């Protein structure tokens, strides 16, 4: 009788799906720019020369010349902070690799030129 109860419990647990639950990744719905029809996926931080990928929730920055994607910017990264509220929404690109456009963004949004950035400054 004890074996029957044990087998019954095993069958019930396997049928109920306990232990088989899988976490389904939630895909974020990002806002789109009405002019370019691109999702606003990336934010550029001129003071850090880094990006934030809103879809993946990762920071993209260079470390010793190599681009890295991390959940957090390393503490003391280049001596700057994220909380100066200067981030620029990139409205014309929503593909997976933003790094080829870094030089264009660095030139278009130089850190010292807040006047240019104010029109597109975002507090994501």
Under the banding of pLDDT at 50, 70 and 90, the label for residue 95 is confident
**Could you tell me if residue 98 is inside a domain?**
yes
Under the banding of pLDDT at 50, 70 and 90, the label for residue 86 is confident
> pLDDT, tens digit, for every residue of 8-35?
667 666 776 655 555 665 666 777 777 8
**Could you tell me if residue 21 is inside a domain?**
no
**Could you tell me if residue 16 is inside a domain?**
no
The arithmetic mean of pLDDT across residues 75-93, rounded, is 74
**Could you tell me if residue 10 is inside a domain?**
no
**Could you tell me if residue 4 is inside a domain?**
no
Under the banding of pLDDT at 50, 70 and 90, the label for residue 97 is very high
> pLDDT, tens digit, for every residue of 98-111?
999 999 999 999 88
Q: How many domains does the chain fold into?
A: 1
**Could you tell me if residue 93 is inside a domain?**
yes
Residue of 95, 23, 99 lying closest to 55 (CA atoms): 95
| Domain with 76 in it | 26-122
**Could you tell me if residue 1 is inside a domain?**
no
pTM recorded for the entire structure: 0.65
pLDDT computed for residue 17 by the predictor: 62
**Could you tell me if residue 20 is inside a domain?**
no
- Range among 64-68, 93-97, 114-118 rated most confident: 64-68
> pLDDT, tens digit, for every residue of 64-82?
899 999 998 887 776 565 5
């Amino acid at each position: 009788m004890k074996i029957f109860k044990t087998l019954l419990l095993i069958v019930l647990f396997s049928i109920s799906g306990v232990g088989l639950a899988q976490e389904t990744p939630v895909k974020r719905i990002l806002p789109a720019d009405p002019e370019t029809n691109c999702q606003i996926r990336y934010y550029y931080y001129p003071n850090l020369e880094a990006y934030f990928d809103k879809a993946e929730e990762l920071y993209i920055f260079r470390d010793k010349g190599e681009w890295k994607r991390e959940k957090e910017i390393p503490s003391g990264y280049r001596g700057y902070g994220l909380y100066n509220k200067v981030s620029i929404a990139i409205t014309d690109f929503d593909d997976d690799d933003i790094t080829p456009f870094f030089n264009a963004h660095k030139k278009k949004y130089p850190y010292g030129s807040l006047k240019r950035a104010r029109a597109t400054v975002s507090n994501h």
